[in-house]
Every structure is written in structure tokens, then in C-alpha cells.
Structure 1
Amino acid sequence: MNEKNPQDHVIFKISLLSISIFLMMAPAIAPALPLMYHAFPGIDKAGVEMLSTIPNIGIVIGLLISPFLIKLMGEKPTIITGLVITLLAGTFPMYATAYTPILISRFLIGAGIGLFNSLAVSLIPQFYSSNEEKLATMVGYQNVMGSLGAALASFLISWLLTISWHAAFAIYFLVIPVLILFILFVPLPSSRQKKADKAKKAKENRLLMVK
């Protein structure tokens, strides 16, 4: 393998694309709602259904916050932060029994996904912009991964619901292998390093102009 081109490695491609699995997974707990109606007798039907829809609001908030975190920490730490929030908030309803904390956790899972939502797409050209064929292929794979995540979540939830509605939220443990893969195999420069590289390149360009 050519170490100068890590983006050509299969493990790199899997690690980069795997974060897209969760982009469409937040509302996937809808099949659990009928069981949850009985778990929260004091909450009306619309309130329980909000557990499936409120992540969409969180995603919007996460998308708005993401650019500021990227400037502050860099792209990779922002994605890692989003994945950790998705893991913690996503699995929280497994142990919780009160409606309000679960509602908050559902909002937070949306915010976590929102932090890396746009980056799941924008990172691909950073690695493949020099090869249009590979870029198109990876963008296609990225779209497929989102649909695959939704289908996988639907399948797993149907099985987990035979245990309990709490168990349905175990699907978010899928974040753990994705988080490990992304940390280990996707090298991204920090925001500070990017600024240093840009400054160095600008200096080199000025020297060339002088010559």
C-alpha cells in the first residue's frame, strides 16, 4: 500500500464514510412509539411522537453551531464531539424512565448529528478533489451510507422492540466502532495547523511573485 495516499486504503474509506450512517438515524425510533404511549400515560400522543421529531430541531441547531466549533477546535475534534454526544444522548433512554429527560436527550442526539452532518459530505472533496472519478464514487457511497443507516436502524429496532422499548435505543451503540475507526484512520489537520499551512503557502507564493 502507498502510505503517501491513505485515502486509497479501504479502511480509510470505510472510516470516512461510516459517520454518514447516523445522518438519517435520529427519527428511526418511530416504531417504538406505540409502546412508549403506555410508558407515559400522563403525556398525550403528540408529546410522545415529539420524541421522534425533536431530533430534527437539534440537527438544525447543531448545523448552526458546527462552523464555530470547527474554527475553535478543527474538523476532526468537532466530528468526534458530535459522535460522543450522539452516543451518550442516543443511549440515555435505555436507562431513563422520565419523559422530560428523554425528550432532552432526543434533542441532544439531533444536535450531535448536526455537528458532523455537513462535514460528512464536505470532507470527501478534501481528500478526492484531485480525482473526479474517485470523488464522484465516494459521494455516491456517502449517499448510500445514509440510506443504509436508516435501513439498518429500522431492522435492528424491530428486533430490539421484542425485548422492550428501552432496548430500541441500543442501536446508538453503533457509534462506538465508528468513533474508533474515525479516530484511528481519518487524519485531519487541526484548525491551527490549517492556518499555519495557509500562511506558509501564502509566504511561498509571495516569494515566487518577488522572483
Structure 2
Amino acid sequence: MKKFTILSLSLFTLLAGAALSPALPSISQAFPRVNKLWIQALVTLPSICVIFWQVLATKVSTKFSSKKQLLVGLILYSFGGGLPVLTANFTLIIVSRIVLGVGLGIIADLSVELINSNYQDAERKRMLSYAGALNNGGTVLAVLYAGLTAKLNWHLVFYLYLLALIPLCLVFSFLKDESMTSKRKLASDKTSFEPEFLFIAGEMLITTIIYFIVPTNLGYAIKEYFKINNSLITGGLMALISILGVIAGLLFSRNRLKNKIVLIGLFTMFSCSMLFLSLENSLMLFVIGAALSGFSLGIALPLFNQEIISISNINSSNRNLSIGQAMIFLGQFISPFLITELHNLLNCNVFQIGCGLSLILLFLNIIKPVRY
């Protein structure tokens, strides 16, 4: 049950933001005076709290075991996630997303660290692949539920976050009360950053910025491009994206290709994905583009973690994985703000901006030397 308990944490990391994607148009209608950008930020606001958690994690981890941290994180996640069920005050909803984000920071930090610390070599790669698949698997259920309920009442969407009470019970029952995090922090504080890690961390940041153009704009794009205003359709398309992410994550565990080849293929797919999504007159290509974005992310999550482990020494691996997770969530938060600014500056389709960023990453991976 320990393995199942650790993997159950991965169900709730991407779900925190993506679950709201089908409900954004409904929430916009409920708050017509609130700027669209802040409505979109409901998806990504929790992610910035992950960054703040990184600042506190060093001190907290020396005083509390991983189990105690996870119990607190899951309680905050459930409470913050479910609070909007009880209120129609937008300020309180913003506060609830921040509380959810603090819990998310704790869960995301430890979900990967527990895998790295408890498993080795091929088993660790399998666990990272399963975790990546579950990241997307949780999102499948979330967006389908959100698509069904957002049409009835957007408040109902937030009941979804109460599912975090299930891993809360599992952690309480099956995870040992051991303090491994403090050892990780004390050891890694004395270790400098590997040059390759900084490049990988940058890739994780930009890749997440690119991907989150999709959940923050999908509902609006379907309505604007194809005159379809149906949260169930948006939820179904987000579910397709996530299902393909699950498949990609599982396929990665069987991958035998060199990471550089996979990275070139990854950013080629991302470029094609954003290109197809930018075509406003073809629903079929739009759906294909959305599907490719999910498949690409399903490869990216375990691949980046595997790359970090491969270039890190024993003292820095957990610290680097933790920072990598922070880059993912920082990218989520930055995405709507940066893309909106670029959209206003360049006066082009948001998906075209994503295509351009993908092509830059593709070019950098083609020319970079292989040193690990």
C-alpha cells in the first residue's frame, strides 16, 4: 500500500488548476465585472504558492516529518479547494485558491521526492512514469466532472477537491512517520547547481507556460472560433487531452530512445499542437492540436524528472527535483499574464505565441551538446 499511497498524491497536482478550465466561461458570467485575466488566474493562482513553499520548506522540513507535512498539505488542499462551494464572493474565492495552493506546494514537493528517495533505477523510472500518468489521469476525471456540473452550477465544480481526503486517509494509515526531508535539505544546501540543471529548469518553466495556454484559453477559443458555448464539450476535450497524457506517460516507461531524440520529438509535437490550435477555421485540426498538447505534456513531466536525476549527484537530486517542480508551477502562474502581455504586444493569436516559444525550445535542443 505504500507504493499506492505515494502514487495517489500525483492525482492532485495538475488537477488543482485544470479542473476549473471547463467552468471558466460560467464563472465569467457569474462575475461580469471581474477582468477576464483574473478569471483565468483562478486556474494558475495556486501554483505561485508552490514557489513560496520552497522558501519555507528548508525550515519546515527540519522540524516535521514528511508524513506530518503531507497531512497538513492535504487538509489545506481539501479546505481551500472546497471553500468556494459556500461563497459567491470573488475575493474569498481568490483566498481559497491561495490556501489550496499552499497545500498543493507541500504535496507537489514531496510526491516526487518520495519516489526518488524510496526507489532506484528502473523501478524509479517506472514510478515517475506512473506518477506522470496519474497527473493526467486525475485531470481526466476532473474536467469531465467540471464539464458536466459547470452548466448546472459552477459552485458544484469545487466539490471535486474534497477527493483529496482519500490520500489523506492513505497517508495517515500507510506512510511511515520518518524525516527524510531534513537530510535532503541539509545535504543539498552545500551543493552547487549543475550547469545542465539550470537549462532543464528553464525548459520546464517555458514548457509549462506553453501548455497552460490550453486550459486557460480552451473554453474561450471554442466559443470564439466555432460559436460553441458548452462547458461539457470543453470538459470532454480537456479529458481527451488528459487521457493522451496518461498514455504518453505510460509509454515513456518503456522508452529506450536517447533523451535528446525524445526532447526533439517533444518540442516538434508542441509546435504542431500550438500551430493547429491557432487555426480558427478548422475544428478537426483544433481538436488534433489539443490532443497533441496532452500527449506532449504526458512525455514532458516524467522526462524532465528523469533528466534531472541523471545529471544530479546524490546530494543534489532531491533539491533539484524540488526546484523542478517549482518551475512547473511557476510556469502555470506566469502563463496567462505573460501570454496576455505578448498577445497585446504582438497582436497575434495566443496559440501562435505558444508555437513560437515551442520552436525556440526545439532549436535549442537541436543545437545543444549532449553531456549527460
Q: TM-score, normalised by structure 1?
A: 0.79
Q: Deviations over 1:83-118 (max 9, x none)?
A: 111000000011111010101111221121111212
Q: CA shift at 1:192, angstroms?
A: 11
Q: Quote how far apart the aligned CAs of 1:169 are.
A: 0.7
The correspondence of residues 19-168 of structure 1 with structure 2, limited to 5 A, is 19-28=9-18, 29-129=20-120, 132-168=121-157
Residue of structure 2 equivalent to 1:202: none
On the 8 A contact 1:62/1:112 being kept in 2, the answer is: no
1:189 aligns with 2:175: no
Residues 66, 180 of structure 2: 8 Å contact kept: yes
Deviations 1:31-88 (A, max 9, x none): 1111111222332222222222211212222233233221121211111111111000
Q: Given that residues 62 and 114 in structure 1 are in contact (C-alpha distance below 8 angstroms), is that contact kept between their aligned partners in structure 2?
A: yes
2:58 and 2:182 in contact (8 A); partners too: no
SS in 1 for 2:154: coil
Instruction: Let me know the Cα RMSD of the aligned residues.
Output: 2.0
Deviations 1:104-137 (A, max 9, x none): 11122112111121210111132223xx332222
2:26, 2:151 within 8 Å by CA — same for their partners in 1? Answer: no
What fraction of aligned residue pairs are identical, expressed as a percent? Answer: 28
CA contact (8 A) 1:89 1:109 kept: yes
**Whole-angstrom distance in 1 between the partners of 2:76 and 2:15:** 14
Between the aligned partners of 1:179 and 1:167, the Cα distance in structure 2 is: 22
- Gapped runs of 5+ residues in structure 2? 184-372
Q: Measure how far apart 1:15 and its partner are.
A: 0.9
Residue 163 of structure 2, aligned match among 166, 174, 181: 174
| CA distance in 1: counterparts of 2:33 and 2:118, whole angstroms | 51
> Higher RCO, 1 or 2 (CA under 8 Å, sep at least 6)?
1
Deviations 1:143-180 (A, max 9, x none): 21112122221122112224310000111011011110
Q: Classify the secondary structure of the residue corresponding to 1:73.
A: coil
The answer to whether the 8 A contact 2:9-2:111 is kept is: yes
- The reply to whether residue 14 of structure 1 matches residue 32 of structure 2 is no
| Mapped partners of 2:116, 2:94: distance in 1 | 36
Counterpart Cα distance in 2 of 1:62 and 1:20 = 18
Distance 2:147 2:164 in 1: 19
TM-score norm. by structure 2 comes to 0.46
Separation in structure 2 between the aligned mates of residue 176 and residue 102 of structure 1, nearest angstrom:
20
Q: 1:124 to 1:188 in 2, by over 3 A?
A: farther
Q: Which runs of 5+ in 1 are unaligned?
A: 1-10, 195-211
Secondary structure of the corresponding residue to residue 177 of structure 2: coil
Contact 2:42/2:94, CA 8 A, preserved across alignment? yes
